[in-house]
Amino acid sequence: MALDADTRAQLSQYMTLMENDIIINLSVGDDETSKQMVDLVQELAQISPKVSVERKTLERTPSFTIAKKGEEARVTFAGVPLGHEFTSLVLALLQVSGRAPKISAEAIDNIRNIQGDFHFETYVSLTCHNCPDVVQALNTMSVLNPRISHVMIEGGAFKSEIDAKQIMAVPTIFLNGKEFGAGRMTIEEIISKVDTGAAAREAAHLNSKDAFDVLVLGGGPAGAAAAIYAARKGIRTGLVAERFGGQVMDTLGIENFISVKKTEGPKLVAGLEEHVKDYDVDVMNLQKAVSVAKGDLIEVALENGAKLKSKTLIVSTGARWRNINVPGEKEFKNKGVAYCPHCDGPLFKGKHVAVIGGGNSGIEAAIDLAGIVGHVTVLEFLPELKADAVLQERLYSLKNVTVLKNVATKEIHGTDVVNGLTYIERDTNSEQHIELQGVFVQIGLVPNTEFLGDLVEKTKFGEIVVDRHGATNVAGIFAAGDCTNSAYKQIIIAMGSGATASLGAFDYLIRN
Protein backbone atom coordinates (compact mmCIF):
# COMPACT_ATOMS: atom_id res chain seq x y z
CA MET A 1 0.00 0.00 0.00
CA ALA A 2 2.05 2.90 -1.28
CA LEU A 3 1.13 6.48 -0.46
CA ASP A 4 0.04 8.54 -3.44
CA ALA A 5 2.50 11.08 -4.83
CA ASP A 6 0.84 14.14 -3.26
CA THR A 7 0.60 12.55 0.21
CA ARG A 8 4.19 11.34 0.02
CA ALA A 9 5.38 14.83 -0.99
CA GLN A 10 3.52 16.44 1.93
CA LEU A 11 4.83 13.83 4.34
CA SER A 12 8.39 14.32 3.12
CA GLN A 13 8.09 18.04 3.79
CA TYR A 14 6.76 17.53 7.32
CA MET A 15 9.39 14.94 8.20
CA THR A 16 12.19 17.39 7.49
CA LEU A 17 11.02 19.06 10.74
CA MET A 18 11.95 16.02 12.84
CA GLU A 19 14.60 16.97 15.39
CA ASN A 20 16.02 13.63 16.62
CA ASP A 21 16.25 10.01 15.53
CA ILE A 22 13.26 7.79 16.26
CA ILE A 23 12.76 4.03 16.31
CA ILE A 24 9.58 2.35 15.10
CA ASN A 25 9.02 -1.08 16.66
CA LEU A 26 6.82 -3.12 14.35
CA SER A 27 4.68 -6.11 15.38
CA VAL A 28 2.97 -7.74 12.37
CA GLY A 29 1.60 -11.01 11.07
CA ASP A 30 0.46 -12.36 7.71
CA ASP A 31 -2.92 -10.57 7.54
CA GLU A 32 -3.75 -7.82 5.06
CA THR A 33 -3.65 -5.05 7.69
CA SER A 34 -0.14 -6.16 8.69
CA LYS A 35 0.97 -5.97 5.07
CA GLN A 36 -0.40 -2.44 4.77
CA MET A 37 1.33 -1.48 8.02
CA VAL A 38 4.68 -2.83 6.82
CA ASP A 39 4.37 -0.86 3.58
CA LEU A 40 3.53 2.35 5.47
CA VAL A 41 6.33 2.02 8.03
CA GLN A 42 8.91 1.12 5.38
CA GLU A 43 7.87 4.17 3.40
CA LEU A 44 8.39 6.36 6.49
CA ALA A 45 11.91 4.95 6.84
CA GLN A 46 12.64 5.61 3.16
CA ILE A 47 11.51 9.23 3.44
CA SER A 48 13.63 10.18 6.47
CA PRO A 49 17.08 8.97 7.57
CA LYS A 50 15.99 9.80 11.14
CA VAL A 51 13.58 6.83 11.11
CA SER A 52 14.75 3.27 11.79
CA VAL A 53 12.55 0.18 11.99
CA GLU A 54 12.87 -2.87 14.21
CA ARG A 55 10.67 -5.95 14.60
CA LYS A 56 9.31 -6.64 18.07
CA THR A 57 6.39 -8.57 19.57
CA LEU A 58 3.95 -6.07 21.06
CA GLU A 59 0.71 -6.48 23.03
CA ARG A 60 -1.35 -6.21 19.84
CA THR A 61 -0.59 -7.39 16.32
CA PRO A 62 -0.60 -5.57 13.97
CA SER A 63 0.73 -2.48 15.73
CA PHE A 64 3.78 -0.27 15.96
CA THR A 65 5.33 2.04 18.53
CA ILE A 66 7.18 5.31 17.99
CA ALA A 67 9.99 6.24 20.40
CA LYS A 68 12.88 8.67 20.50
CA LYS A 69 16.15 6.77 20.27
CA GLY A 70 17.25 5.77 23.77
CA GLU A 71 13.77 6.21 25.34
CA GLU A 72 10.89 3.86 26.15
CA ALA A 73 8.02 3.88 23.65
CA ARG A 74 4.87 5.56 24.97
CA VAL A 75 2.96 6.14 21.69
CA THR A 76 1.43 3.13 19.89
CA PHE A 77 -0.74 2.75 16.79
CA ALA A 78 -2.68 -0.53 16.67
CA GLY A 79 -4.02 -0.55 13.12
CA VAL A 80 -2.99 1.53 10.12
CA PRO A 81 -3.41 5.27 10.92
CA LEU A 82 -4.69 6.53 7.60
CA GLY A 83 -7.94 8.37 6.81
CA HIS A 84 -8.66 10.96 9.49
CA GLU A 85 -5.85 9.53 11.64
CA PHE A 86 -3.04 10.25 9.16
CA THR A 87 -2.51 13.67 10.76
CA SER A 88 -2.22 11.93 14.15
CA LEU A 89 0.64 9.84 12.75
CA VAL A 90 2.46 12.87 11.33
CA LEU A 91 2.18 14.82 14.60
CA ALA A 92 3.33 11.81 16.61
CA LEU A 93 6.46 11.46 14.45
CA LEU A 94 7.32 15.13 14.91
CA GLN A 95 6.56 15.36 18.63
CA VAL A 96 8.29 12.09 19.58
CA SER A 97 11.37 13.33 17.71
CA GLY A 98 11.44 16.40 19.94
CA ARG A 99 9.33 18.95 18.05
CA ALA A 100 7.38 21.06 20.55
CA PRO A 101 3.60 20.55 20.45
CA LYS A 102 1.47 23.57 19.56
CA ILE A 103 -0.41 23.89 22.84
CA SER A 104 -0.30 26.56 25.53
CA ALA A 105 2.59 26.79 27.97
CA GLU A 106 0.04 26.41 30.77
CA ALA A 107 -1.22 23.11 29.31
CA ILE A 108 2.36 21.83 28.93
CA ASP A 109 3.11 22.63 32.57
CA ASN A 110 -0.12 20.98 33.72
CA ILE A 111 0.68 17.79 31.78
CA ARG A 112 4.23 17.58 33.10
CA ASN A 113 3.00 18.03 36.67
CA ILE A 114 0.42 15.21 36.50
CA GLN A 115 1.29 12.61 39.13
CA GLY A 116 0.59 8.90 38.78
CA ASP A 117 0.73 6.24 36.05
CA PHE A 118 -1.77 6.58 33.21
CA HIS A 119 -2.13 4.09 30.35
CA PHE A 120 -4.74 5.28 27.84
CA GLU A 121 -6.33 3.26 25.03
CA THR A 122 -8.53 4.95 22.43
CA TYR A 123 -10.78 2.95 20.11
CA VAL A 124 -11.36 4.74 16.80
CA SER A 125 -12.67 4.31 13.29
CA LEU A 126 -10.80 5.85 10.37
CA THR A 127 -13.96 7.60 9.16
CA CYS A 128 -14.47 9.34 12.52
CA HIS A 129 -13.74 13.09 12.39
CA ASN A 130 -13.98 13.39 16.18
CA CYS A 131 -11.37 10.72 16.94
CA PRO A 132 -8.16 12.52 15.86
CA ASP A 133 -8.60 15.25 18.50
CA VAL A 134 -8.54 12.61 21.25
CA VAL A 135 -5.72 10.57 19.69
CA GLN A 136 -3.53 13.64 19.17
CA ALA A 137 -4.23 14.97 22.68
CA LEU A 138 -3.30 11.70 24.38
CA ASN A 139 -0.24 11.22 22.17
CA THR A 140 0.92 14.72 23.12
CA MET A 141 0.41 13.99 26.81
CA SER A 142 2.42 10.77 26.42
CA VAL A 143 5.28 12.66 24.79
CA LEU A 144 5.39 15.29 27.56
CA ASN A 145 5.02 13.05 30.62
CA PRO A 146 6.98 9.76 30.90
CA ARG A 147 4.31 8.28 33.21
CA ILE A 148 1.62 8.56 30.52
CA SER A 149 1.27 6.20 27.54
CA HIS A 150 -1.34 5.86 24.80
CA VAL A 151 -2.49 3.31 22.23
CA MET A 152 -4.74 4.17 19.28
CA ILE A 153 -6.77 1.06 18.39
CA GLU A 154 -8.49 0.99 14.99
CA GLY A 155 -11.76 -0.90 15.39
CA GLY A 156 -11.71 -2.50 11.95
CA ALA A 157 -8.38 -4.20 12.69
CA PHE A 158 -9.43 -5.37 16.16
CA LYS A 159 -13.09 -6.20 15.72
CA SER A 160 -13.03 -9.06 18.26
CA GLU A 161 -11.71 -6.63 20.88
CA ILE A 162 -14.41 -4.09 19.98
CA ASP A 163 -17.08 -6.80 20.31
CA ALA A 164 -15.67 -8.17 23.58
CA LYS A 165 -15.71 -4.71 25.18
CA GLN A 166 -19.08 -3.92 23.54
CA ILE A 167 -17.78 -0.66 22.09
CA MET A 168 -20.48 0.86 19.88
CA ALA A 169 -19.35 4.48 19.63
CA VAL A 170 -16.05 6.15 18.85
CA PRO A 171 -13.87 7.54 20.16
CA THR A 172 -14.10 5.47 23.35
CA ILE A 173 -11.25 5.95 25.81
CA PHE A 174 -10.03 3.50 28.45
CA LEU A 175 -7.69 4.50 31.28
CA ASN A 176 -5.78 1.75 33.10
CA GLY A 177 -8.27 -0.81 31.82
CA LYS A 178 -11.46 1.06 32.78
CA GLU A 179 -13.72 3.18 30.57
CA PHE A 180 -12.70 6.83 30.91
CA GLY A 181 -14.87 8.67 28.41
CA ALA A 182 -16.49 8.70 24.98
CA GLY A 183 -16.80 11.30 22.26
CA ARG A 184 -14.68 14.26 21.28
CA MET A 185 -12.48 15.61 24.09
CA THR A 186 -9.88 18.34 23.96
CA ILE A 187 -6.53 18.10 25.68
CA GLU A 188 -7.73 20.62 28.30
CA GLU A 189 -10.79 18.46 29.05
CA ILE A 190 -8.65 15.36 29.50
CA ILE A 191 -6.21 17.21 31.76
CA SER A 192 -9.08 18.49 33.92
CA LYS A 193 -10.47 14.95 34.35
CA VAL A 194 -7.06 13.55 35.29
CA ASP A 195 -5.88 16.48 37.43
CA THR A 196 -8.57 16.70 40.12
CA GLY A 197 -7.26 19.96 41.55
CA ALA A 198 -7.46 21.83 38.24
CA ALA A 199 -11.12 22.90 38.63
CA ALA A 200 -10.59 24.58 42.00
CA ARG A 201 -7.50 26.44 40.75
CA GLU A 202 -9.36 27.62 37.67
CA ALA A 203 -12.38 28.78 39.72
CA ALA A 204 -10.14 30.92 41.93
CA HIS A 205 -8.51 32.41 38.85
CA LEU A 206 -11.87 33.25 37.22
CA ASN A 207 -13.26 34.81 40.41
CA SER A 208 -10.40 37.31 40.43
CA LYS A 209 -11.35 38.81 37.04
CA ASP A 210 -12.67 42.38 36.80
CA ALA A 211 -16.10 43.03 35.31
CA PHE A 212 -16.38 42.86 31.51
CA ASP A 213 -18.08 45.37 29.24
CA VAL A 214 -19.40 42.48 27.10
CA LEU A 215 -19.44 38.85 28.18
CA VAL A 216 -20.31 36.28 25.51
CA LEU A 217 -21.65 32.84 26.49
CA GLY A 218 -20.93 30.29 23.78
CA GLY A 219 -18.02 29.65 21.42
CA GLY A 220 -19.82 28.66 18.23
CA PRO A 221 -20.19 30.80 15.09
CA ALA A 222 -22.55 33.28 16.81
CA GLY A 223 -20.35 33.64 19.91
CA ALA A 224 -17.15 34.00 17.90
CA ALA A 225 -18.69 36.72 15.72
CA ALA A 226 -20.07 38.55 18.76
CA ALA A 227 -16.70 38.49 20.53
CA ILE A 228 -14.81 39.75 17.49
CA TYR A 229 -17.25 42.61 16.87
CA ALA A 230 -17.11 43.63 20.54
CA ALA A 231 -13.31 43.49 20.75
CA ARG A 232 -13.01 45.60 17.62
CA LYS A 233 -14.81 48.37 19.51
CA GLY A 234 -11.98 48.41 22.06
CA ILE A 235 -14.15 47.37 24.99
CA ARG A 236 -13.33 44.71 27.61
CA THR A 237 -14.61 41.44 26.11
CA GLY A 238 -14.82 37.94 27.56
CA LEU A 239 -16.00 34.69 26.01
CA VAL A 240 -17.12 31.64 28.03
CA ALA A 241 -17.46 28.35 26.13
CA GLU A 242 -18.29 24.88 27.32
CA ARG A 243 -16.52 23.71 24.15
CA PHE A 244 -15.16 26.18 21.62
CA GLY A 245 -16.86 25.60 18.28
CA GLY A 246 -19.98 24.07 19.77
CA GLN A 247 -22.00 21.75 17.55
CA VAL A 248 -20.07 22.81 14.44
CA MET A 249 -17.23 20.62 15.75
CA ASP A 250 -19.50 17.62 15.08
CA THR A 251 -20.43 18.71 11.54
CA LEU A 252 -18.62 16.85 8.79
CA GLY A 253 -19.35 18.53 5.46
CA ILE A 254 -20.22 22.24 5.09
CA GLU A 255 -21.06 23.34 1.54
CA ASN A 256 -23.31 26.38 2.10
CA PHE A 257 -20.90 28.78 3.81
CA ILE A 258 -20.81 31.49 1.18
CA SER A 259 -17.41 32.01 -0.52
CA VAL A 260 -16.11 28.68 0.82
CA LYS A 261 -17.19 25.91 -1.55
CA LYS A 262 -16.56 23.08 0.88
CA THR A 263 -15.07 22.69 4.33
CA GLU A 264 -15.45 20.59 7.48
CA GLY A 265 -16.68 21.64 10.89
CA PRO A 266 -13.40 21.22 12.81
CA LYS A 267 -11.53 23.17 10.11
CA LEU A 268 -14.03 26.04 10.28
CA VAL A 269 -13.84 26.07 14.09
CA ALA A 270 -10.04 26.24 13.98
CA GLY A 271 -10.37 29.33 11.79
CA LEU A 272 -12.92 30.88 14.15
CA GLU A 273 -10.70 30.30 17.17
CA GLU A 274 -7.65 31.71 15.41
CA HIS A 275 -9.62 34.81 14.39
CA VAL A 276 -10.96 35.37 17.91
CA LYS A 277 -7.45 35.06 19.37
CA ASP A 278 -6.23 37.78 17.00
CA TYR A 279 -8.20 40.21 19.18
CA ASP A 280 -8.09 41.12 22.85
CA VAL A 281 -10.72 38.59 23.92
CA ASP A 282 -10.44 36.79 27.25
CA VAL A 283 -11.39 33.24 26.16
CA MET A 284 -12.49 30.99 29.04
CA ASN A 285 -12.90 27.55 27.45
CA LEU A 286 -14.32 24.40 29.09
CA GLN A 287 -16.56 26.48 31.35
CA LYS A 288 -20.31 25.91 31.69
CA ALA A 289 -22.74 28.60 32.82
CA VAL A 290 -25.32 27.35 35.31
CA SER A 291 -27.24 30.54 36.13
CA VAL A 292 -27.51 34.26 35.34
CA ALA A 293 -28.64 37.03 37.69
CA LYS A 294 -29.35 40.70 36.87
CA GLY A 295 -28.46 43.44 39.31
CA ASP A 296 -26.38 46.58 38.82
CA LEU A 297 -24.16 44.23 36.84
CA ILE A 298 -25.02 40.91 35.21
CA GLU A 299 -23.58 37.97 37.18
CA VAL A 300 -22.92 34.59 35.55
CA ALA A 301 -22.34 31.58 37.81
CA LEU A 302 -20.21 28.76 36.39
CA GLU A 303 -20.35 25.05 37.14
CA ASN A 304 -16.98 25.12 38.92
CA GLY A 305 -18.28 27.68 41.44
CA ALA A 306 -16.73 30.79 39.86
CA LYS A 307 -18.76 33.95 39.17
CA LEU A 308 -18.16 36.44 36.38
CA LYS A 309 -19.61 39.96 36.13
CA SER A 310 -20.35 42.11 33.11
CA LYS A 311 -22.17 45.25 32.05
CA THR A 312 -23.81 43.41 29.13
CA LEU A 313 -24.30 39.74 28.24
CA ILE A 314 -24.67 38.00 24.87
CA VAL A 315 -26.11 34.48 25.11
CA SER A 316 -25.06 32.33 22.14
CA THR A 317 -25.12 28.88 23.68
CA GLY A 318 -26.51 27.16 20.56
CA ALA A 319 -28.43 23.91 20.53
CA ARG A 320 -27.86 20.18 21.00
CA TRP A 321 -29.25 16.99 19.51
CA ARG A 322 -32.83 16.41 20.59
CA ASN A 323 -33.45 13.18 22.50
CA ILE A 324 -36.50 11.00 21.84
CA ASN A 325 -36.84 10.50 25.61
CA VAL A 326 -38.05 6.92 25.57
CA PRO A 327 -36.97 4.07 27.87
CA GLY A 328 -33.64 2.65 26.76
CA GLU A 329 -32.27 5.76 25.03
CA LYS A 330 -30.23 6.98 27.98
CA GLU A 331 -29.40 3.50 29.24
CA PHE A 332 -27.91 2.37 25.90
CA LYS A 333 -26.21 5.59 24.79
CA ASN A 334 -22.89 4.54 23.21
CA LYS A 335 -24.06 0.94 23.58
CA GLY A 336 -26.11 0.90 20.39
CA VAL A 337 -27.81 4.31 20.65
CA ALA A 338 -25.82 6.82 18.60
CA TYR A 339 -26.15 10.32 17.16
CA CYS A 340 -23.29 10.52 14.62
CA PRO A 341 -23.57 8.16 11.61
CA HIS A 342 -20.23 9.35 10.19
CA CYS A 343 -18.35 8.45 13.38
CA ASP A 344 -20.12 5.34 14.58
CA GLY A 345 -21.53 3.87 11.36
CA PRO A 346 -18.50 1.60 10.65
CA LEU A 347 -18.98 -0.13 14.02
CA PHE A 348 -22.35 -1.47 12.76
CA LYS A 349 -21.03 -3.06 9.56
CA GLY A 350 -23.41 -5.76 8.35
CA LYS A 351 -25.89 -5.15 11.19
CA HIS A 352 -29.51 -4.00 11.25
CA VAL A 353 -29.96 -0.43 12.51
CA ALA A 354 -32.78 2.09 12.79
CA VAL A 355 -32.72 5.80 12.02
CA ILE A 356 -35.31 7.81 13.93
CA GLY A 357 -36.25 10.96 12.02
CA GLY A 358 -37.41 11.64 8.48
CA GLY A 359 -35.98 15.13 8.00
CA ASN A 360 -32.89 15.93 5.95
CA SER A 361 -30.45 14.85 8.67
CA GLY A 362 -32.28 11.56 9.24
CA ILE A 363 -32.51 10.64 5.56
CA GLU A 364 -28.90 11.66 4.90
CA ALA A 365 -27.90 9.41 7.81
CA ALA A 366 -29.96 6.53 6.44
CA ILE A 367 -28.36 6.87 2.98
CA ASP A 368 -24.86 6.94 4.47
CA LEU A 369 -25.52 3.96 6.72
CA ALA A 370 -27.08 1.89 3.93
CA GLY A 371 -23.65 1.62 2.33
CA ILE A 372 -22.16 0.14 5.51
CA VAL A 373 -24.76 -1.79 7.49
CA GLY A 374 -26.87 -4.79 6.54
CA HIS A 375 -30.25 -3.05 6.74
CA VAL A 376 -31.65 0.36 7.72
CA THR A 377 -35.17 0.98 9.03
CA VAL A 378 -36.28 4.63 9.02
CA LEU A 379 -38.97 5.61 11.52
CA GLU A 380 -40.87 8.88 10.97
CA PHE A 381 -43.51 10.19 13.38
CA LEU A 382 -45.48 12.12 10.71
CA PRO A 383 -47.47 10.56 7.85
CA GLU A 384 -44.82 11.71 5.33
CA LEU A 385 -41.07 12.23 5.33
CA LYS A 386 -39.91 15.83 5.71
CA ALA A 387 -36.62 15.49 3.79
CA ASP A 388 -35.95 17.15 0.44
CA ALA A 389 -37.36 15.30 -2.58
CA VAL A 390 -33.91 14.53 -4.00
CA LEU A 391 -32.92 12.80 -0.76
CA GLN A 392 -36.16 10.80 -0.65
CA GLU A 393 -35.63 9.68 -4.22
CA ARG A 394 -32.15 8.44 -3.38
CA LEU A 395 -33.40 6.72 -0.22
CA TYR A 396 -36.17 4.80 -1.98
CA SER A 397 -33.69 3.57 -4.60
CA LEU A 398 -31.77 1.62 -1.95
CA LYS A 399 -32.69 -2.04 -1.57
CA ASN A 400 -31.62 -2.45 2.05
CA VAL A 401 -33.81 0.35 3.47
CA THR A 402 -37.30 0.10 4.96
CA VAL A 403 -39.32 3.26 5.64
CA LEU A 404 -41.96 3.30 8.38
CA LYS A 405 -44.13 6.44 8.49
CA ASN A 406 -46.70 7.62 11.01
CA VAL A 407 -45.05 5.61 13.80
CA ALA A 408 -43.94 6.54 17.33
CA THR A 409 -40.91 4.96 18.96
CA LYS A 410 -41.98 3.50 22.31
CA GLU A 411 -38.87 1.82 23.74
CA ILE A 412 -35.32 0.76 22.90
CA HIS A 413 -34.50 -2.70 24.22
CA GLY A 414 -31.29 -4.49 25.15
CA THR A 415 -29.29 -6.29 27.79
CA ASP A 416 -25.74 -4.99 27.78
CA VAL A 417 -26.24 -3.49 24.30
CA VAL A 418 -29.19 -2.66 22.05
CA ASN A 419 -31.02 -5.65 20.58
CA GLY A 420 -34.39 -4.24 19.52
CA LEU A 421 -36.92 -1.42 19.29
CA THR A 422 -40.66 -1.21 19.88
CA TYR A 423 -42.84 1.28 17.99
CA ILE A 424 -46.54 2.09 17.75
CA GLU A 425 -48.42 2.48 14.47
CA ARG A 426 -50.27 5.73 15.13
CA ASP A 427 -53.27 5.07 12.88
CA THR A 428 -54.10 1.66 14.39
CA ASN A 429 -52.39 2.04 17.79
CA SER A 430 -50.89 -1.43 17.31
CA GLU A 431 -47.49 -2.21 18.81
CA GLN A 432 -44.67 -3.65 16.71
CA HIS A 433 -41.15 -4.87 17.50
CA ILE A 434 -37.95 -4.89 15.41
CA GLU A 435 -34.83 -6.85 16.24
CA LEU A 436 -31.76 -4.69 15.54
CA GLN A 437 -28.36 -3.76 16.90
CA GLY A 438 -28.25 0.03 16.61
CA VAL A 439 -30.45 3.14 16.78
CA PHE A 440 -29.36 6.48 15.31
CA VAL A 441 -31.40 9.42 16.64
CA GLN A 442 -31.81 12.28 14.14
CA ILE A 443 -34.81 14.38 15.20
CA GLY A 444 -33.44 17.90 15.28
CA LEU A 445 -32.18 20.28 17.93
CA VAL A 446 -33.13 21.74 21.32
CA PRO A 447 -31.75 25.13 22.49
CA ASN A 448 -29.27 25.25 25.38
CA THR A 449 -31.16 27.82 27.46
CA GLU A 450 -32.31 25.96 30.59
CA PHE A 451 -29.69 27.71 32.76
CA LEU A 452 -31.48 31.05 32.22
CA GLY A 453 -34.62 29.91 33.99
CA ASP A 454 -37.35 32.55 33.64
CA LEU A 455 -34.94 35.49 33.48
CA VAL A 456 -35.64 36.24 29.80
CA GLU A 457 -38.65 35.63 27.56
CA LYS A 458 -38.53 32.34 25.67
CA THR A 459 -40.77 30.53 23.19
CA LYS A 460 -42.55 27.32 24.14
CA PHE A 461 -39.58 25.48 22.58
CA GLY A 462 -37.11 27.23 24.90
CA GLU A 463 -35.74 29.62 22.26
CA ILE A 464 -34.79 33.11 23.51
CA VAL A 465 -37.00 35.82 22.00
CA VAL A 466 -34.93 38.68 20.54
CA ASP A 467 -35.69 41.85 18.59
CA ARG A 468 -33.95 43.12 15.44
CA HIS A 469 -31.02 44.37 17.56
CA GLY A 470 -30.55 40.96 19.20
CA ALA A 471 -31.92 42.33 22.49
CA THR A 472 -34.00 40.28 24.92
CA ASN A 473 -36.72 41.71 27.14
CA VAL A 474 -34.12 42.27 29.91
CA ALA A 475 -32.02 45.40 29.55
CA GLY A 476 -28.36 44.61 28.84
CA ILE A 477 -28.94 40.95 27.89
CA PHE A 478 -28.72 40.02 24.23
CA ALA A 479 -28.81 36.68 22.40
CA ALA A 480 -27.77 35.24 19.04
CA GLY A 481 -27.66 32.05 17.01
CA ASP A 482 -29.45 28.73 17.34
CA CYS A 483 -30.54 29.38 20.94
CA THR A 484 -32.85 32.19 19.74
CA ASN A 485 -36.14 32.30 17.88
CA SER A 486 -34.38 32.94 14.56
CA ALA A 487 -36.34 31.53 11.65
CA TYR A 488 -33.51 29.38 10.31
CA LYS A 489 -30.67 27.56 12.07
CA GLN A 490 -27.65 28.01 9.79
CA ILE A 491 -23.98 28.77 10.46
CA ILE A 492 -23.95 31.88 8.30
CA ILE A 493 -27.14 33.20 9.92
CA ALA A 494 -25.73 32.54 13.40
CA MET A 495 -22.62 34.58 12.56
CA GLY A 496 -24.72 37.49 11.36
CA SER A 497 -26.91 37.41 14.44
CA GLY A 498 -23.79 37.35 16.63
CA ALA A 499 -22.55 40.51 14.95
CA THR A 500 -25.98 42.10 15.34
CA ALA A 501 -26.18 41.29 19.05
CA SER A 502 -22.67 42.63 19.62
CA LEU A 503 -23.45 45.90 17.87
CA GLY A 504 -26.68 46.06 19.87
CA ALA A 505 -24.75 45.56 23.12
CA PHE A 506 -22.25 48.30 22.18
CA ASP A 507 -25.07 50.69 21.37
CA TYR A 508 -26.65 49.89 24.76
CA LEU A 509 -23.34 50.60 26.54
CA ILE A 510 -22.77 54.01 24.96
CA ARG A 511 -26.37 55.07 25.67
CA ASN A 512 -26.39 53.85 29.29
Residue 10 clears pLDDT 90, i.e. is over it:
no
Residue 50 and residue 175 share a domain: yes
pLDDT score for 264: 87
Strands 352-356 and 438-441, bridge-based pairing: parallel
pLDDT score for 421: 98
Last residue in a domain, options 382, 406, 441: 441
pLDDT score for 129: 84
pLDDT score for 1: 56
Model confidence over 431-458: pLDDT tens digits? Answer: 999 999 999 999 988 999 999 999 999 9
Last residue in a domain, options 381, 406, 441: 441
pLDDT score for 130: 86
Task: Tell me which DSSP letter residue 209 carries.
Answer: P
Task: Tell me which DSSP letter residue 464 carries.
Answer: B
What is the domain count for the chain?
Answer: 3
H-assigned helices in 257-415: 265-277, 341-344, 360-370, 389-396
- The mean pLDDT of the chain is 94
Residue 471 and residue 389 share a domain: no
What percentage of the chain exceeds 70 in pLDDT? 99
pLDDT score for 324: 95
Question: Is 57 inside any structural domain?
Answer: yes
Residue 177 and residue 42 share a domain: yes
3-state class (DSSP) for residue 48: coil
Question: What is the distance between the alpha carbons of residues 432 and 461, in angstroms, rounded to a whole number?
Answer: 30
Last residue in a domain, options 134, 166, 196: 196
pLDDT score for 92: 98
Residue 14 clears pLDDT 60, i.e. is over it:
yes
The model's confidence at residue 256, banded by pLDDT at 50, 70 and 90, is confident
Question: Is 330 inside any structural domain?
Answer: no
SS (H, E, C) 235-279: CCEEEEECCCCHHHHHCCEECCECCECCEEHHHHHHHHHHHHHCC
CA distance readout (Å), 423 to 86, 170, 396: 42, 27, 21
Residue 298 and residue 360 share a domain: no
Q: What residues contact 386, with CB distance under 8 A and at least 6 apart?
A: 358, 359, 360, 380
3-state class (DSSP) for residue 448: coil
The whole-model pTM stands at 0.76
Residue 435 and residue 491 share a domain: no
Of 489 and 224, the one with more pLDDT:
224
Question: Is 474 inside any structural domain?
Answer: yes
pLDDT score for 400: 97
Question: Is 325 inside any structural domain?
Answer: no
Question: Is 332 inside any structural domain?
Answer: no
Residue 253 clears pLDDT 80, i.e. is over it:
no
Residue 427 clears pLDDT 80, i.e. is over it:
yes
| CATH number of the domain that residue 491 is part of | 3.50.50.60
Model confidence over 286-331: pLDDT tens digits? Answer: 899 999 999 999 999 999 999 999 999 999 999 998 999 999 999 9
pLDDT score for 2: 62
Question: Contact at 8 Å (CB) between 152 and 79?
Answer: yes
The model's confidence at residue 268, banded by pLDDT at 50, 70 and 90, is very high
Residue 428 and residue 455 share a domain: no
Domain that holds residue 54: 5-196
Question: Is 279 inside any structural domain?
Answer: yes
